[in-house]
Structure 1
Amino acid sequence: MTLNVDTFYWGAMRRFGNFFPHGTFPPHVSILLISAPLDQYKQNRRGQVYRCLVRDSSCIPLSIQEPSHGINMSLGLSMTKDPESLNTMVCGPTIPRECKSITTYNGMCFEIDQSLHVKQPVPSSLEECPGQTDIAFLLDGSGSVNKFDFEKMKDFVKDLIREFLERDTKFAVAQYSGYCTIHFDLNTFNVMNRDYQVNSITQQGGGTYTAASMRKVVQEVFSTSRGSRPKAKRIMIVITDGQSNDSGMLKNAASEAEAKNIIRFAIGVGRAFSSSSAMKELETIASSPPSNHVFQVGSFQALDQIKDTLQNSIFPIEGSQTTGESIKMEMAQEGFSAAYIPRMGAVGAFQWKGAYQEYKGSTLDPTPQQSQNMEPDSYMGYSMAVATTHTRQFTILGAPRFKHTGRVVVLPSRDTDKAITDPEDWIGAYFGAEVCAMDVNKDSYSDLVLISAPMFTDRDREGRVYVCTINDWMTLVGDAGQMGRFGTSLAPLPDLNMDGFNDLAVGAPLENDGQGSVYIFHGTSSGISKIKSQKISASDVQSGLKYFGLSISQTSLDMSLDSLPDLAVGSKGAVLLLRSRPIVTLMARVSFNPPKIPTNQVDCSTPLRNIAKVCFTMTRQTTDTKDLQAKINYTLTLDVTRQAPNYRAYISPKIREETNTITLRLQEQCFSHNFFIEACPEDSLNELSNELDFTFEGLPTTSPGGLSSSLSPRSPTSTYHPLGFEINCGADNNCIDNLKVDFNFTSSEVRVGIDEVINVTVSVESREENSYNSHVILKYPAGLSFRKFTILQVRVHIRKERENEDSTIFMCHLLNMSQIFIRNLDRNSYNITGNLSSQWIEQIGLESAQFNLVSSATVDYDRNQYIYYSSDSKNNPPIQKIETQVEVYPEVNFTKGVIGGVVGGLLLLALITAGLYKVIFITYLV
């Protein structure tokens, strides 16, 4: 692994007690802004932003004038930086507001410029409490309702009014039968005397004219003269026990109510509504959708069963989806996430479906943006990022509770939004808890979208990060055996290893029993490497840390003034500053003296000497100015492609590797190594491939807290350096072979079972340029047994195709006798003496054996000057041969030879002496 971040922290901010520093943003190199959103510094004030000086790690709260209604806002729960203005935005999304019916939660953000001046909050004021409500009850007083049931209906009305008293609500009560009576309008109904007023209503009796009565209530009750408020939500509750006498007019009456934005609830009592036509009437009376506005009970005694449901439909509680007038932005918690001004996540908007607020223009009027792909309780806006392409910007929003698995929505400036779902569809994974848009190739446009699922559990891992491209996706995971919430934080990093691609940091704050870790992944030409380049554990930085990696700075400036980017990592009660390391490249070069292996040597018994010169050059890639040094441990391996013991070069017998350790600085350093090359190697065509392997260890600089350098991935740690042979192939360096091969046999026919030996003589002649690595392969029938070969000329390789055939092994020699000048009719004689030895008999374990010794002589001369003339047609110089048959017997035990032993021994001695005489004294006549 490449260690690009130094684990020795050079700065630590510890002003935060047991609170969690959530955001870390450097407005400039000497100051760090750190938020502590859980810091309860006053009874009704929670969350602070600290201004920390890098030089001495001191921190003081930044003065932010929060409005009086900014109560316990958890300021700093989200922080972001504008890449254009470099201003920082901090948000507090938990401002409560006590209304009559519910407690709403909203948020606001503050923009901080580079001079640390704080601008006015956005938005400047909170959402209004849920609006006023005017409710009109229209009771069925027709003759079909008996007196007892009419009293039950009045009790139901009194109970509902009692439940709505704490809200800013006004009431009216009307009764209909053959005509409509408005008993109390919105002005005359007195909630303090509500029971008396409702009890005073008597049943009218008669027919059921529902449509006409609805029109009268719409026209006379919901009017300003009768107490209706212009901004109040208008509700009409119609209770009936059967079909109306003017059903044909219901549609028009409903349309009039719709025109005045009156929300209508229809309650059908009794068995009359078991018919489809009666149910159709209820659906016509009620607002759409009927499923939320039509109620049916079997009797008036059962009205209490729908009281709570009706109440929640009129005044929806948080997270519920009911009428078209349900909660929108009252629970929005603007600023739960933020992606540089002017966008703020509103995780609680639209029944916790979620949205984001976009502020445009000088007035900064908010424009809520939501997705049609969301469901209630999805938490869209829990996380946010902005991706930039060549043509537009996309807002990326995480919704980690969508269907309990999670979803990410991409909202473009036009067209419909695109949804990205969890590929694993894992319940509780919290897919979308963090999102990040990343420019990998440094062209200022987003290349990747990263989505974390920190709660995903897979055997012995917890958490993963999905890397999404246009056409594909891959996953990043932490180490096995760690339930660490990998992906809790994501942060794009600059190009730490100087390979041309930006990098990524991923936090896993629960690793190692809650100590925490931060993972570094390198960018590549195709995205992000799946293999981590470095893991920074809390214990490597400082003992006692908790939840290290809970937050990571989204920008990495040079705060340590060493011309290298720095990283700020949050943990419980502290922020630690880590420095990136200098990057160097290392070039390895190997040269040889002589640069080529000679091939014209005559003496094949003495190895050739050579010198390998190994040079290293270390070059700085980063902009720092430190005096860098590194320890290099390298190994030079000769002829690495050959398996032992067939290699052609060696340092010493049977050893072809040499290792050395050096300390390298920013200049070239060279080292020499002596080695030997096998004399007259069998393969002189293919070059020697020599491998140089090395390990790199950056050494700390001499300055306090000195940094160690890291090796660039562009520097290979294993290189190959060829050493070739001198190939004499003319000026064009291209060898053209022209080989002549002749075969000569003992006779033209073989008598099976009679002839014991077949001699084959092979003659190879090169008529053009040098021919390297040439082979002659002889194949023979399975009925023959290979016995021996005799090398008459050097550099001839003979191999046996059939591995299981019998064979003999001889040590053969070619003797060259030079005669410079021979007179006409001269005769010269040469005496050749030698010893005959055979290992073949011992190898196969025979007690006796018989073999032939063939000695041959021929004439070699300069064929460019002379012509050999002979009486035969071939005109070839004669080859004279002497064949001696040697027979070996086991040693005789003379103690057992009582009769004839002496005679037999003398005879055997005479035979061997005669045989040896032929071997030792052979005369060639030329």
Structure 2
Amino acid sequence: MKQIIVSAPLGANRSGAIFKCTVEKRNCSHLYQPECTKSKVNLVFLFDGSSSMQASDFDKNKKFIWDIVTTLKNSSIEFAAVQFSKTFSTVFTFKDYVNGMAKKKLDEEKHMKSLTLTYKAIDFTLKNLFNNVESGADPEATKALVIITDGNPSDINTNEIQRCEKLNIARFIIGVGKIDNFEKLNKLASEPKESNIFRIENYDGLNGLLDKLQNMIYGIKGAQGRNYREELSQSGFSAASDKDTLILGAVGSDNWRGMLYEVTGSEAGMEIKDENLNKDSYNGYSVVVGRRGRVSLVFSGAPRSNHRGQVTLFKKMTHKWEAMSNISGEQLKLEKELEISESAQGRFGMTLAAVADLNGDQLQDLAVGAPLEDNRKGAIYIYLGNHEHGIRPKYSQRIAASSISKQLQHFGLAIDGVMDMGQDGLTDIAVGAQGTVLLLKTRPVVSISAKLSFFPSEISLNKFDCLGSSENAFAVITLNTCFSMTENTNSKGAVKSGLNVSLELSADAVRQDSRAFFIKEQKTSRSLMTSVLLNSEFSCYNHTVYMHLFSHRLLFSVLLDVWDSLCLPVVIPQNDPVLIF
């Protein structure tokens, strides 16, 4: 029975999950999920119900609390909540949360509308929740307290903070609005205070704190056995298959450094990672697989690496994956030698695509997207394959959105390069942009080589005035320039129209004065620039060379500049042909 593999990177509390489903999509079963060692966390929301907030703000407070609870519902965290003002109210306990009663009780909670007795509220929370097994608290659990308030405490600290420290309670403070003396709130937070205090202008700003606070909760200091490397891994964020193996991107692993997993069946995945990447690199954001002979290759995009973006090549060595090489986004240098990345928001490596052979070398090529480059207009980069290193270290072409249309945005958001849409024998590349898809048609690649020969094979001395008194010019030899043209790609007649080749012939190129020339009436015409049409695989052209005085040694060379109306890429030998006689 045919099956499809479905990734759910936000499943299993954002650690990610992989499912296998029948083609009819009516029956899915769990295939893989990263193993996370869970230790229980007791977390209490202590939220302000003073008269300084409006009823709508009180409702936003409750919604924010439940958004966090909902997001983290499949984790090892158990929640409770207390409203505080002049008096205190247990909104729901840990036991209520486990029994499914928390939402109903939170919705029914009424706004107290009185003073802000914060320290007494902490004392109430310690006695009635953290230190009370009847509330469902686990004495061995890691403890956390989230305080949401729009004002400074109206009371003073007796020993509440010291008791929290003794119990190793991580304390996060959210200060809302204009608070006169924020230093008083600093005393409520646990260390590091600069990371555990959040300031927002109004209660609307709570939504923007959701992800940040969630990450801080997962990183609670003292969470015994907590594997923060996997808890937010989002395994399956990207995926590619290699025979019977799945390669999964896990951008959130290891403090968002990111990594990949090689998964076979439901077994625990083998890690594929680059130890040199910084945190927040998002490695595994995109992934493609390939092969060089029997060797498996994996390309992984890390679009936030060093604020530039990076693509890393991994090669499987026996039973271990190793990072072999990487390519990075471009950088610009501004004033005062401050390096600012052209791809700082370009997200180089955000998308990757294995592209069918573009230049006819029988190797697969790679396309890399940077959809936020050039002020979010976007660009893609083409890297040609290489036998030894997988791909060449320098891109062969950068295609900027602005070179196609000024209206394009997020060009490179998606890439695919395996189809021949034009049925011309050449691969076409589909590139996604905001609201549109563009099809880039590739062109055939040809190789051109040039060969010089001459006749006669010997020059007669009878016509020369050896004393140098004659000013007459004589045709001494005929240069024969022959070109061979071979198409590297396998297009269907795309180069039949021929190529226009612009060439420069130089005589006696190494001497300062001229002894041979190409125009009889012009002694200084030691170079000849012309263009010829190559409309077959082998083309030859003749040019006459003149002299006044005989010299026993002359040097000729040809420099080629190839152009044609189709803008075809051309491969020209690196060493220009040279003839000496």
Q: TM-score range by the shorter chain?
A: 0.5 to 0.7
Q: Secondary structure of the residue that 2:403 maps to in structure 1?
A: helix
- For residues 246-645 of structure 1, what are the structure 2 equivalents within 5 Å? 301-307=158-164, 310-312=168-170, 317-326=217-226, 331-340=232-241, 341-348=245-252, 359-361=263-265, 364=266, 366=268, 382-383=284-285, 429-430=306-307, 434-437=310-313, 448-452=324-328, 458-459=333-334, 463=341, 484-498=346-360, 503-522=365-384, 527=389, 532-553=395-416, 555-599=417-461, 603-604=465-466, 605=470, 606-609=472-475, 610-628=477-495, 629-644=498-513
Would the alpha carbon gap of residues 370 and 650 (structure 1) be closer, same or farther in structure 2, given more than 3 Å must change?
A: closer
AA of the residue aligned to 2:511: R
Matches within 5 A, 1:51-130: 91-95=7-11, 104-109=13-18, 120=28, 122-123=30-31
The number of residue pairs the alignment matches comes to: 431
Cα distance between partner residues in 1 of 2:295 and 2:560 = 48
Stretch moving more, 159-168 or 623-632? 159-168
- C-alpha distance in structure 1 between counterparts of 2:464 and 2:20, whole Å: 87
Quote the Cα distance in structure 2 between the aligned partners of 1:506 and 1:497. 17
**TM-score, normalising length from structure 1?**
0.38
| Aligned partners of 1:551 and 1:569 also within 8 Å | yes
1:116/1:508 Cα in 2 relative to 1: closer, same or farther (>3 Å)?
A: farther
- State yes or no: 1:668 paired with 2:544: no
- 1:812-831 matches, cutoff 5 A: none
Letter in 1 for 2:159: A
Asked whether the 8 Å contact 2:517–2:527 carries over to 1, the reply is no
Shift of 1:634: 1.9
Partner AA of 1:450 in structure 2: N
Question: Alpha carbon RMSD of aligned pairs, Å?
Answer: 5.4
Contact 2:384 2:395 in 1 (8 A): yes
Matched, 1:168 2:168: no
Q: Return 5+ residue gaps in structure 2 as ranges.
A: 44-87, 101-123, 144-156, 172-213, 316-320
Q: How far 1:569 sits from its partner (Å)? A: 1.8
Deviation at 1:662, TM superposition (A): 2.7
Q: Cα gap change, 1:635/1:93 in structure 2, threshold over 3 Å: closer, same or farther? A: same
Counterpart for residue 648 of structure 1: 516
Larger Rg: 1
CA change 1:116–1:330 in 2 (3 A) is same
Deviation at residue 659 of structure 1 after TM alignment: 2.7
Partners of 1:389 and 1:677 in 2: how far apart? 56
Shift of 1:491: 4.2
Task: State the alpha-carbon separation in 1 of the partners of residues 558 and 406 from structure 2.
Answer: 40
Unaligned runs of 5+ in 1: 1-84, 98-103, 136-157, 171-194, 200-220, 237-261, 266-299, 407-428, 440-444, 465-477, 701-707, 725-926
Give the letter aligned to residue 616 of structure 1: F
Change (3 A) 1:491 1:463: farther
Q: Report the CA distance shift for 1:698/1:337 in structure 2 as closer, same or farther (over 3 A).
A: same
Which of 699, 707, 710 matches 2:569? 710
Q: Secondary structure at the match of 1:598?
A: coil
Distance 1:698 1:326, change over 3 A: same
- Please tell me the residue identity of whatever aligns with 1:335: G
2:529 maps to which of 629, 648, 659: 659
- SS, match of residue 9 in structure 2: strand
Deviation at residue 571 of structure 1 after TM alignment: 1.3
Amino acid at match of 1:567: I
The percentage of counterpart residues that share the same residue type is: 25
Q: Tell me the distance in 2 between the aligned counterparts of 1:342 and 1:358.
A: 6
Amino acid in the other structure paired with 1:344: L
Residue 817 of structure 1 is matched in structure 2 by: none
Q: Deviations over 1:830-877 (max 9, x none)?
A: xxxxxxxxxxxxxxxxxxxxxxxxxxxxxxxxxxxxxxxxxxxxxxxx
C-alpha distance 623-110 of structure 1, shift in aligned 2 (>3 A):
farther
Query: Which TM-score applies when normalising by structure 2?
Result: 0.57
Q: Deviations over 1:330-376 (max 9, x none)?
A: 54422223343434334446776766565444xx2555859897999
Shift of the alpha carbon at 1:626? 0.8
TM-superposed deviation, 1:93: 2.0
| CA distance in 2 between partners of 1:311 and 1:125 (Å) | 30
**Residue 302 of structure 1: how far off its partner (Å):** 0.8
Answer whether contact 1:134 1:169 (CA < 8 A) is retained: no
1:689 correspondence with 2:555: yes
1:638 is aligned with what amino acid?
Answer: A
Give the SS at the match of 2:505: strand
- Pick closer, same or farther for the CA change 1:667–1:122 going to 2, 3 Å: same
SS of alignment partner, residue 167 of structure 1: helix
